[in-house]
Chain A
């Protein structure tokens, strides 16, 4: 028994790198990759100029959205990737698994039944991740704004980065939204982006509201 135990320990020490065991692989990743990144690369030129810039370039030119259609805006999402509006020029490739994805593209009203699944999909995406709310149903409920079954805006469930109004959104408008996301990632170092009206907002996190919060301006009472 003792001999066998010693042998296995020696084997582990001797290998040093990746074993077939998945636990070994996780150990190797934490030791070789995660710790140095957390500790920080010593050379400032390499850290800021090369690594950060390169990673940013790679991030903003490969915004892969999740291939997930909720309702009719999904048809426009499909039309965006056809040869006429070839969206793969911008590095937008639809992927079917949330593990391989950077962007959660929400296209349609999120019902209360769908809400936990949408939140789970958001949490399954690995970390540099963004959310695009496409169409008015996702932004604020749209025509179902007084329905008992629809969430009033995706930004009550998860932080949303880009809001694209339209019903449905035109394919070019969706591409414009992706270009806006591109700009937002590019401005990560600066920390702010300017909106269409000229306001400065944070470029590092999306917009999130509480459930009790306001999602529309109050309609005057005489009109209800």
Chain B
């Protein structure tokens, strides 16, 4: 104490607190009065209690919060890009038999699925999911969404595997606007000398951007057919590279394309990069001038 006093001579003196042992009790009582229901409106310094009673009242989480997954079956085209970008490999695809005039066949699907009368839709192992949101970010048709539902706790491990049918978004909630965007930024390049012309890529392409044309090289005395890509429709899903039996396809990063080359199924010419959509809404942010 002596040394403190000696030091404190020159500096500003500390305010002495009164109450001693009873001070904590008084502070607690003051808090109790200040945060009591109905009284806190009258008492000076009154405020609502900080604690919110969870099971009875819930906080409104942000719209971008990633909870339970939902998939819009009207928009999904089964390109399996989400399963490829998933860092945990927790997404797997299920094949579902559908009738010919089912609404889920309306967007696009690959030719093998059309022949077999089925669609493929993603299913998730929620117990293994990282909730990073890459699947919804890379989805070329905006079919992936996340709800704000975080109450996923369960008694067993088996019930954390969610099938495709359980993750389906209710049909009333979907706006049914079909968009195709190449968010991956890659497009397939063909090595013509290796291609054997089996047309498996044509059958597996979900957007139908491949058309088989006569190639230059000869096999067995006649020219073989090689795929030709329509890069305005291509979404860079790598499905053709995956099925190719001789590895004649590889993905290459696209150079900058002007946005009118992109393809929009329902509203042609309305496809825009994400930054421009953001810039439209926020007045603070301004796009840099185009060169």
Give A residues with C-beta under 8 Å from B: 83-86, 89, 136, 139-143, 145, 153, 155, 160-167, 170, 172-173, 175-177, 179-180, 184, 193, 195-197, 199, 201, 203, 207, 209, 215-217, 219-220, 222-224
CA distance in complex: A224, B88 (Å)? 11
Given contacts A165-B160, A201-B156, 7 further A-B contacts (CB under 8 A): A83-B50, A86-B51, A142-B128, A143-B88, A162-B155, A165-B152, A209-B157
In the complex, B99 has a CB within 8 A of chain A? no
Q: What 0/1 readout, one digit per residue, does chain B (91-131) give for beta carbons within 8 Å of chain A?
A: 01100000000000000000000000000000001111111
* Given known A-B contacts A139-B127, A223-B83, A195 and B159 have beta carbons under 8 A apart: yes
Report whether A222 and B159 are in contact in the complex, using a CB–CB cutoff of 8 Å: no
Q: How many contacts between A and B, using CB within 8 angstroms? A: 124
Question: Which residue of B is nearest A161, CB measured?
Answer: B155
**Interface size (B, Cβ < 8 Å)?**
39
Report whether B159 and A165 are in contact in the complex, using a CB–CB cutoff of 8 Å: no
* Given known A-B contacts A89-B53, A143-B87, A163 and B153 have beta carbons under 8 A apart: yes
Question: Which residues on B sit within 8 Å (CB–CB) of A84?
Answer: 50-52
Task: Say whether chain B's binding surface is mostly helix, strand, loop, or mixed.
Answer: loop
CA distance in complex: A175, B131 (Å)? 19
* Given known A-B contacts A84-B50, A142-B88, A219-B89, A163 and B160 have beta carbons under 8 A apart: yes
CA distance in complex: A89, B55 (Å)? 11
CA distance in complex: A223, B241 (Å)? 12
Q: How far is the CB of B266 from chain A (nearest CB, A)?
A: 31
Contact of A199 among B128, B150, B159 (CB under 8 A): B159
User: Max chain A CB contacts within 10 Å: which of B59, B152, B153?
Assistant: B153
Q: How far is the CB of A151 from chain B (nearest CB, A)?
A: 14
Question: Which residue of B is nearest A172, CB measured?
Answer: B54
In the complex, B154 has a CB within 8 A of chain A? yes
